[in-house]
Amino acid sequence: MTSAATRLSTAVFLLLTTACSITQEVEPVLGATGRTICVIENPDVRETFLEAYERSLSERGLSVQRIAAGSSTTTCPLTTTYTANWRWDLGMYMAYAELEVFEQGQEVGSAVYDAFGGSARTAKFIHAEDKVRELVTALFPAP
Average pLDDT of the chain, as a whole number: 82
Task: Give per-residue pLDDT as tens, 124-134.
Answer: 456 678 889 99
According to DSSP, residue 73 is labeled T
Q: Determine, yes or no, domain membership for 17.
A: no
Residue 80: domain span: 23-139
Q: Determine, yes or no, domain membership for 77.
A: yes
Q: Determine, yes or no, domain membership for 113.
A: yes
Q: Determine, yes or no, domain membership for 16.
A: no
- pTM for the model: 0.79
CATH code at 115? Answer: 3.30.160
Confidence at residue 100, expressed as pLDDT on a 0 to 100 scale: 98
- Please state which of the ranges 8-17, 22-31, 86-95 shows the lowest mean pLDDT: 8-17
Mean pLDDT of the region 94-108: 94
Confidence at residue 42, expressed as pLDDT on a 0 to 100 scale: 97
Domain total in the chain: 1
Q: Determine, yes or no, domain membership for 61.
A: yes
Q: Determine, yes or no, domain membership for 62.
A: yes
Q: Determine, yes or no, domain membership for 43.
A: yes
Task: Give per-residue pLDDT as tens, 31-48.
Answer: 887 799 999 999 999 999
Give the CA-trace dihedral at 121, 127, 131, 134, to 10 degrees: -120
What is the band of 92 on the pLDDT scale with cuts at 50, 70, 90? Answer: low
Q: Determine, yes or no, domain membership for 5.
A: no
